[in-house]
A and B are shown apart, each in its own frame.
Chain A
Amino acid sequence: MSHHLVEVRELRHAYPDGTLALDGPTFTLHHGEAVALVGANGAGKSTLLKHLNGTLRAASGEVRVGELPVQAETLAQVRRTVGMVFQDPDDMLFMPTVLEDVAFGPRNLGFPPPEAEARARVALGQVGAAHLAAKAPYHLSVGEKRRCALAAVLAMGPDILVLDEPSTGLDPRGRRLLVGLLQAFTHTRIIATHDLDLASRLCPRTLVLHRGRLVADGPTRAILADRARMESWDLEAWPPEA
């Protein structure tokens, strides 16, 4: 059961050029929890998320997924558990057609082709992109790419969903679809977003990053409404003043 749990302790990450992108955030995610990760541009959100599935490895500090410390030996298992939707969908879509791309993850998990394809079709249906199955990924609009990238992760059936700005570039209907979809999930979810409306609808709890530090961790509405603190983190309060 405990594999739904994520634990991050004293995580530090510096990029090769010396930028200290993460400066010691420490927190835990509990089973089935939906958590928003907010912070200004460059605050370190994407960098943090990339540690959760081992795309980036902790220079110091620790990330644990369930019982497993995220390290080279556990990567395969960690990635079965943690499904990550990257910020830029162009980084994800790789195969010649959308269907093949979405089936790519399940194939790697060892599903035989027909079953992988069936999973892919279900996932595409979930995100409202069933009609795109035969298209080439690079012929899609940004919003369509985003949906397909989400489907690509859903098709793998992860326990924990890590989403990096999932609503950017979606039209109002697509966004509503996404909110509904994410609400329906029972996965543990962590969502990096600038879309504070989405954060307040989906996530009872919010983490705030400011220049690589975790500066707030608590109930979403209270944090987002605290005008003075939000502004001190280069953010704007939500809901906006009438």
Chain B
Amino acid sequence: MPSLAAALLDLRELDRLARLDTPVHRLDPRAKVLATAAFLATLASFGPREVSALLPLALFPVALAALGEVPFGLLARKTLLGLPFILVLGAFLPWVDRVPVLQLGPLAVSGGWLAFASLLVRGLLAMVTATALVAVTGFGDLCAALDRLGAPRAFSQQLLFLHRYLFLAGEETGRALQARELRAFGRPLAPREYGAFAGHLLTRSWERAERVHAALRARGFDGVLPARAQTAFGTGAWGFLLGWSAFFFLCRWLALPALLGGLLAGGGS
């Protein structure tokens, strides 16, 4: 449970980071969203057993994070959070395909393991990039960008609400945990208490969400959040989008790792 408090802190940290002022932050959010979409599409377009060919793509999230002053610790934590899901998704792969396709020293690597490694690398790259994107754009601007790019209103607004309600739920949880902690003297939550606690939290978060909604309505909210300051899609944005798209293209079609001298032999096949 304390990891929940940590997760909330990270959420706030992301919000704080989003308000920094770096060249990447100043870019039109749509350029960042589109470049990320191109990145994800490129990731998805590789063959199922590619591993080394994927690695140069890491330059994109690394550059985003470095230029946007996103601490690598935060990126690592957020990414590890997604790791279990990727592992579960890919766990069966090595059992399905056991035909060795690659000799690494004394080790015969099966196609299944390669596919597993490939999935792992893709998953991690996608998580890092998504985290970096949120950190250098901010959730509000991200949703606004989706909106301006033609995503359904309901979708982008729900995303924004989800984000804010996540905060509320997290805060309720934090307060309740702290209050309990002060009377528990380090005794862990008993299984029987756990249910009551979780139920209590759920109701509290729900009721708070209702009150927040009532308060929004009281200020004239009619279901559409006012758009935020709108930036123009300038040369910087075009440069960013086209530059990175060109890089992704090179990674995909020119087998960049082969040119750079592969890190791992036999990524292709």
> B221 interface residue, CB < 8 Å from A?
yes
Once the chains are docked, how many angstroms separate the CA of A53 from the CA of B226?
A: 22
Smallest beta-carbon distance A72→chain B, Å: 12
Partner of B218, one of A53, A103, A109: A53
> How many residues of B are in contact with the other chain, CB < 8 A?
26
Once the chains are docked, how many angstroms separate the CA of A109 from the CA of B219?
A: 8
Q: A55-B214, A86-B211, A138-B167 are in contact. Are A108 and B219 (CB under 8 A)?
A: yes
Once the chains are docked, how many angstroms separate the CA of A113 from the CA of B231?
A: 13
Q: Which of A107, A153, A156 has the most CB of B within 10 A?
A: A107
Least CB separation from B161: chain A residue: A94
Smallest beta-carbon distance B17→chain A, Å: 12
Once the chains are docked, how many angstroms separate the CA of A50 from the CA of B18?
A: 36
> B217 interface residue, CB < 8 Å from A?
yes
Q: Are B15 and A96 in contact (CB under 8 A)?
A: yes
Partner of A107, one of B12, B167, B171, B226: B226
Chain B 55-72 interface mask (CB, 8 Å, partner A; 1/0): 000000000000000000
Kindly list chain A residues whose C-beta atoms are within 8 Å of the C-beta of B217.
55, 75, 79
Partner of A105, one of B139, B220, B222: B220
Least CB separation from A96: chain B residue: B140
Q: Are A105 and B229 in contact (CB under 8 A)?
A: no
> A118 interface residue, CB < 8 Å from B?
no
Kindly list chain B residues whose C-beta atoms are within 8 Å of the C-beta of A79.
217-220
Q: Are B15 and A108 in contact (CB under 8 A)?
A: no
Kindly list chain B residues whose C-beta atoms are within 8 Å of the C-beta of A104.
216, 219, 221, 226
Q: Are B220 and A92 in contact (CB under 8 A)?
A: no
Partner of A113, one of B16, B164, B171, B229: B229
Chain A 35-69 interface mask (CB, 8 Å, partner B; 1/0): 00000000000000010010100000000000000
Once the chains are docked, how many angstroms separate the CA of A84 from the CA of B218?
A: 7
Q: Are A138 and B228 in contact (CB under 8 A)?
A: no
Near B by CB (< 8 A), chain A positions 78-101 give 79-80, 84, 86, 88, 90-92, 94-97, 100
Smallest beta-carbon distance A7→chain B, Å: 20
Once the chains are docked, how many angstroms separate the CA of A108 from the CA of B220?
A: 5
> How many residues of A are in contact with the other chain, CB < 8 A?
32
Near A by CB (< 8 A), chain B positions 192-242 give 208, 211-212, 214-222, 226, 228-229
Q: Which of B167, B220, B222 has the most CB of A within 10 A?
A: B220
Least CB separation from A113: chain B residue: B229
Chain B 1-41 interface mask (CB, 8 Å, partner A; 1/0): 00000000000100110110000000000000000000000
Partner of B164, one of A50, A94, A100, A153: A94
Kindly list chain A residues whose C-beta atoms are within 8 Å of the C-beta of B111.
none
Smallest beta-carbon distance B215→chain A, Å: 5
Q: A136-B12, A136-B16 are in contact. Are A88 and B220 (CB under 8 A)?
A: no
Q: A108-B226, A138-B171 are in contact. Are A96 and B138 (CB under 8 A)?
A: yes
Q: Are B220 and A76 in contact (CB under 8 A)?
A: yes
Q: Are A136 and B15 in contact (CB under 8 A)?
A: yes
Kindly list chain B residues whose C-beta atoms are within 8 Å of the C-beta of A127.
none
Once the chains are docked, how many angstroms separate the CA of A241 from the CA of B205?
A: 43
Q: Are B222 and A108 in contact (CB under 8 A)?
A: yes
Q: Are B215 and A86 in contact (CB under 8 A)?
A: yes
Kindly list chain A residues whose C-beta atoms are within 8 Å of the C-beta of B216.
94, 104
Kindly list chain B residues whose C-beta atoms are within 8 Å of the C-beta of A107.
226
Kindly list chain B residues whose C-beta atoms are within 8 Å of the C-beta of A156.
219-220
Q: A96-B15, A96-B140, A100-B228 are in contact. Are A91 and B220 (CB under 8 A)?
A: no
Binding site for A on B (CB under 8 A): 12, 15-16, 18-19, 138-140, 164, 167, 171, 208, 211-212, 214-222, 226, 228-229
Among all A-B residue pairs, the 8 with the closest Cβ atoms: A108-B220, A107-B226, A105-B219, A91-B211, A92-B215, A91-B215, A55-B214, A84-B218
Known: A91-B208, A96-B19, A105-B219. 15 other contacts (CB 8 A): A50-B214, A55-B214, A76-B220, A79-B218, A79-B219, A79-B220, A90-B208, A92-B212, A92-B219, A108-B220, A109-B220, A136-B15, A138-B12, A153-B219, A156-B220
CB-defined A-B contacts under 8 Å, sample of 24: A50-B214, A55-B214, A55-B218, A75-B217, A76-B220, A79-B220, A80-B220, A84-B218, A86-B211, A86-B218, A88-B211, A91-B211, A91-B215, A92-B215, A96-B19, A96-B139, A96-B140, A97-B19, A104-B221, A104-B226, A105-B219, A105-B220, A113-B229, A136-B16
